[in-house]
Amino acid sequence: MTSVNMSSIEWPAIVKLTQHDELLYLEHQRDWLELACLYQHHFIETDQLLDSKSQLYFICATPQTIHEDPVSELPQLLRQPKILPLTEFIKWVQNHAQALGQCCVAKLAFTTVTQGFEIVRTLEE
């Protein structure tokens, strides 16, 4: 896996933190940059970013060293060799809805990644 150029990510995107069921919806690249700045030393090696084309990226936190330039500390995104299956994404969204206190999450389903992204976006409103 190699680090990716931010222009290759299809926005919007979703961040899935390993230790949480909540998903973080990122409309634009600037939302990622804001999250990366705020959370830069708290990512773990299994945290992931999913773009709107179902491409998965591992979020690779930089070492916790002190630099004069804080931008050098931003996490890198490492492209995974596979895309996220729709069935797995449905589980992510169901767990997210349940964590937000929604009822009847077992009935929550969709047929496209775009629909899943829209559900996550609207649940955050």
DSSP 23-40: EEEE-SHHHHHHHHHHHT
Average pLDDT over residues 117-124: 94
| Share in percent of the chain as helix, strand, coil (round to 5) | 35, 20, 40
Q: Are 20 and 60 in contact (CB under 8 A)?
A: no
Q: Are 100 and 123 in contact (CB under 8 A)?
A: yes
pLDDT of residue 12: 97
Q: Are 109 and 91 in contact (CB under 8 A)?
A: no
Does residue 49 have a pLDDT over 80?
A: yes
pLDDT of residue 106: 86
CA-based end-to-end distance of the chain: 35
Contacts of 27 (CB under 8 A, 6+ apart): 11, 12, 121
For the beta carbon of residue 26, count every other beta carbon within 10 angstroms.
Answer: 22
Task: For the chain, give every domain's residue range.
Answer: 2-124
pLDDT of residue 116: 97
Average pLDDT over residues 2-10: 81
What is the average pLDDT value for the chain, to the nearest integer? Answer: 89
| The model's pTM | 0.87
pLDDT band of residue 50 (cuts 50, 70, 90) is very high
Average pLDDT over residues 99-109: 90
Q: Which amino acid is it at 105?
A: V
